[in-house]
Structure 1
Amino acid sequence: RMGAVLEPDTRAAPSKTACDLKELHMMRVALVKDRTAAKNRAATLTLPLLKRQLRQRLAAIDRQIRQIEQAMHARIEADPELARKRDILISIPGIAERSAFALLTGMPELGDLNSQAAGALSGTAPRTRQSGKWTGRAFVQGGRAHVRRALYMPALAAARFNPDLNQTYKSLTARGKPPKLALTAVMRKLIVLANALIRDNRKWTPKPN
């Protein structure tokens, strides 16, 4: 009865390909963490045996990451809808194929959301604490932390090389906004843009001057 009253959105169950991609992506994330930890350990080792073993371990991790990325690429190529979304995502300056993998697995709803929902789900929508006449600083909270992390490096690149988002970043910092806040705004604009382009089935093009 409660479901009938609320009329929740119905979504199709994830496809086998989507489940495979999520599993592959999670393993890739774990391997990247292992690689970082191994590199940190390398700085403390003195014994030649341990140094050699660690080099072998790092080489094995790199090989496994490449194999996972190849498997993800093959599955996306075999799925026309995922390939379409991937091609649109990587047309946006700042988003490379690895970031596209993370967004496709972390936010499969891309293309079916409104701008507000895209910002909220990605954890980049600003929130402000208020109490009576007092208003605190804006902050981001909630959403999918793994998507927010996946947007960080693309936003750094977009703030430099995407002409539209570079202007957003410069405008905010020129008005005295902290660089971290300006970068979060770029992250939000990036995911909103990605959602809109996938929805409209068009690749990114620069705005006319």
Structure 2
Amino acid sequence: MLESVFSPILFATAFTTILVIQDPLGAVPIFLSLTSRQEPAARRRSAFQATLVSFWVILVFALFGRYILQFLGISVPALQISGGLLLLLVALELLTDGEDEADPSSSSANAALVPLGTPLLAGPGAIVAAMVAVESAATPVVGWVTVALALLATHLIVWASLRYSVVLHQVLGETAIRVLTRILGLLLAAIAVQMMGDGLVSFIKTSFL
């Protein structure tokens, strides 16, 4: 009965991919910069708000992405290929020094929502990954339920990283965070190549065979 609404394999894939794309540890320095002038209570509130915005933005696209694709006449393999290319670009940014610089003078909660909540956390890469995960499910219900749970799990980790960002930054340090970000970038690059390969095989089968 559970298998009719939930896929453990899809959950693991979606959870890993989206978490790597969002890179919670990499967002810690940016979050601290954006909230540098806030009191601890305000910083905790900003962490919750940024996480909530990211969750809802990605969830909306995951739920209604199928209808957007149908309206535009885009096939799932085409989405997989283009999504893989986009994820590869995100991975290259993680592997290099292409991080977005935050404005230290921004101290309001709105600064934590934009650009942190979106587009840094809920960016094109995470949105496309969620849409691809839903479309790759056996049924729409399985895709919606599984990806929604995966998004909930990833955003709990994102919230915890932002909530305890001061402690994480002190314990890990800037160098360790950068090293972990590079490792996540390498993993994301492999995921992107696999996604493009699967999409290309499916595209050829549906178009020429």
Return the TM-score normalized by structure 2: 0.27
- In proportion to residue count, which structure has more helix? 2
Q: Whose strand proportion is higher, 1 or 2? A: 1
| Structure number with bigger Rg | 1
> TM-score scaled by structure 1?
0.27
